[in-house]
Structure 1
Amino acid sequence: MNTSVLRNGNKVQTIWRSHYVSDSIGVPIHRSHVRREPQLSKAFYSRFPGRKTKDLEFSVPVRSISNKTNGRTLLGSITNSAAIGWYLGMIKTRPILTKSITSALIYTAADFTSQTMTRSSSEAYDVIRTFRMAGYGMMILGPSLHFWFNFVSKVLPKQDLFTTFKKIFMGQAIYGPIMTATFFSVNAALQGEKGKEIVARLKRDMLPTMINNVLYWPVCDFITFRFAPVHLQPLVASKYFLMPHKPLNTSGL
């Protein structure tokens, strides 16, 4: 708060200047008033030759408020930013390993969700099946997504609308059928099926699965190719396995 002594004719006014002062809860309070002082002698002004005004500055302590809620929010934001930064750094330094682990975790969550949606209340979770899905995501899907998206970005480097549709077509015509056949074959082999049984499974399940692929994956591919950078496209594509659709009967893009 500032105060000034002004001489106005034969009278002196002490003017308390307006300031905003925070009270104990941080709410600004406006204080301003003028009060009359008795006439001062000339000796008072003789102490300040050449000046008729003397400004005296007073410091007003303002209580600082620490908002614990905002502090926790800020700490959470910093933590989240650090985790995201660490993940992005891992994608650049160890891309195949990072994308493989990510696919394994997503496939594990997808299979857990699938069993929750389809099993009856009396059935137990098939843990072996979940491990098979995690292994498929780790060993096959993660690395293949890395190489596929890098290949497509080199062949079709643009991200315009027409190029995006060409990438979608490539996914449905090339990558989708290959990965669907691989998924059925590997899953059947891990369950103990032999060559003829695997071929019979492919004849039975491939066509219905490819039809489901065409109805579901092009929309996901459009978002992935159009808006996601190349190094994050496997992550964006993998997360669609967690969305509610016919559980794990598709493995192409």
Structure 2
Amino acid sequence: MLSVLRRSRPVVSRPARVCYSSATTKSSSGFFRNAWDSYTSLLETHPLSTKIATGGAIAGLGDVGCQLVLEDDKEKHKPLLDVKRAAIFTFLGGFLISPVLHVWYGFLGSRLPGVSAAAVAKRLALDQLGFAPTFLPVFLSSVLTLEGNKEQIPDKLRADWWTVTKANWGVWVPAQILNFRFVPGPMQVLFSNVVGLLWNAYLSAF
């Protein structure tokens, strides 16, 4: 009789745990699916404003993470988090980078449509040999201006432009091959925002 009871106990408890775990998993997956569906719907109805909000949030949170995790700041009496810098990256991510990329990627997609090797190569060449070397000085100048260091722009660009441009090619050439080949047009700015987390960590050194 005792042996029968012992064998029966696990049979009662296990299904309850499995059912609870299964319900939790389904609830989590349903939440993320609904959130993603809402985001893609907003991209269709309000593409620019959605990209502005997403780009600003990703850039700001990325800079906060960079300051707290990646940077080893040994200066005394300096706050753990530079709120002004995070605000600058949030503003530029939302109101400079995202709108510009929205227009630029739209232009590339309309003029050079398709995902063939030739189309991707042409878009990549225009992006990395034309757009990137031109936009980088705009971005760096914007950062310095918002930091209150506008007078440093000429010297900073002379000293860092070529170094930053070469580093840009190391990150963005492979990233943009993937972006132009595999990512749907409406999602390309979001993809660039995510890659920008790594890129902004590098730029913070300048």
Fold agreement, TM-score > 0.5? yes
**Contact 1:241/1:248 (CA < 8 Å) preserved in 2?**
no
Higher relative contact order (CA 8 A, sep 6+): 2
Matched residue, 2:145:
189
Matched residue, 2:47:
95
**Pair 1:115 & 2:67 matched:** yes
Residue 215 of structure 1 deviates from its aligned partner by 1.5
Could you give the per-residue CA deviations for residues 48-90 of structure 1, whole angstroms, max 9, x where no partner exists? xxxxxxxxxxxxxxxxx98121111111121111100000011
Matched residue, 1:106:
58
Matched residue, 2:113:
157
Counterparts of 1:213-252 in structure 2 under 5 Å? Answer: 213-243=168-198, 247-248=202-203
Residue 167 of structure 1 deviates from its aligned partner by 1.3
Matched residue, 1:56:
none
Matches of 1:245 and 1:192 in 2, distance apart? Answer: 19
**Contact 1:149/1:233 (CA < 8 Å) preserved in 2?**
yes
**Contact 1:91/1:99 (CA < 8 Å) preserved in 2?**
yes
**Contact 1:181/1:206 (CA < 8 Å) preserved in 2?**
yes
Residue 249 of structure 1 deviates from its aligned partner by 5.8
Q: Number of matched residues?
A: 190
Matched residue, 1:137:
93
Counterparts of 1:46-85 in structure 2 under 5 Å? Answer: 67-85=19-37
Structure 1 stretch 177-186 or stretch 229-238: which is displaced more? 177-186
Residue 25 of structure 1 deviates from its aligned partner by 4.7
Matches of 2:109 and 2:131 in 1, distance apart? Answer: 14
Matches of 2:110 and 2:198 in 1, distance apart? Answer: 29
* Residue ranges of structure 2 left out of the alignment (5+ in a row): 1-9
**Greater fraction of residues in helix:** 2
CA RMSD, aligned part only?
A: 2.5
**Contact 1:111/1:248 (CA < 8 Å) preserved in 2?**
no
Taking a change above 3 Å as real, the CA distance of residues 170 and 249 of structure 1, as seen in their structure-2 partners, is farther
Moved over 4 A (4+): none
Letter in 2 for 1:133: F
**Pair 1:127 & 2:79 matched:** no
Residue 213 of structure 1 deviates from its aligned partner by 1.0
Matches of 2:200 and 2:103 in 1, distance apart? Answer: 26
**Contact 2:60/2:89 (CA < 8 Å) preserved in 1?**
yes
**Contact 1:209/1:249 (CA < 8 Å) preserved in 2?**
no
Q: Secondary structure at the match of 2:40?
A: helix
Q: Secondary structure at the match of 2:149?
A: coil
Could you give the per-residue CA deviations for residues 164-216 of structure 1, whole angstroms, max 9, x where no partner exists? 1221111112221222111111111112234x531222111111100111112
**Pair 1:86 & 2:42 matched:** no
Matched residue, 1:178:
134
Letter in 2 for 1:159: V
